Amino acid sequence: DSGVTQTPKHLITATGQRVTLRCSPRSGDLSVYWYQQSLDQGLQFLIQYYNGEERAKGNILERFSAQQFPDLHSELNLSSLELGDSALYFCASSVEGSGGLFFGSGTQLSVL
């Protein structure tokens, strides 16, 4: 158990809809990262937050947004969903400078 909690584990929705993925980092970790893993693809970095502030952006679509709340949990919002958004979405947390990420078990999103 990495200590990072992601909910829900599975999400099935239709094209055009909007969903919210939730992540609770490990106790004490201030950084939260979001990654997307599509079929046969590596982990694509989406966005990073540190103590409530956006720190870095990767290949995140404009239809996607995220935030980190005062209690440090984070939410990834995906809107106007398309079939190609179907993927595993991982959240990871870290202590800055520790040299590693701790991943949650992911949310499997299926857009039908």
Q: Which stretch binds other proteins (CB under 8 A): 12-20, 67-75, 77-85, 103-111?
A: 103-111
Instruction: Determine if 106 is a binding residue for other proteins (CB under 8 A).
Output: yes
User: Which range in 12-20, 48-56, 64-72, 79-87 contacts other proteins by CB under 8 A?
Assistant: 48-56
Number of residues that bind other proteins (CB under 8 A): 30
Cβ-based neighbours of 78, under 8 Å, separated by 6 or more: 18, 19, 20, 21, 63, 64, 85, 109
Closer residue to other proteins, CB minimum distance, 17 or 41: 41
> Which one of 13, 55, 67, 79 is in contact with other proteins (CB under 8 A)?
55
DSSP 47-99: EEEETTEEEEE-S--TTEEEEE-TTS-EEEEE-S--GGG-EEEEEEEE-TTSS
- What letter would DSSP give residue 20? E
User: Could you tell me if 6 and 26 are in contact, meaning their C-beta atoms sit under 8 angstroms apart?
Assistant: no
Site string for other proteins, 3-22 (x = CB under 8 A): -x-x----------------
Q: Which residues bind other proteins (CB under 8 A)?
A: 2, 4, 6, 31, 33, 35, 40-45, 48, 50, 55-56, 58, 90, 92, 94, 96-97, 99-106
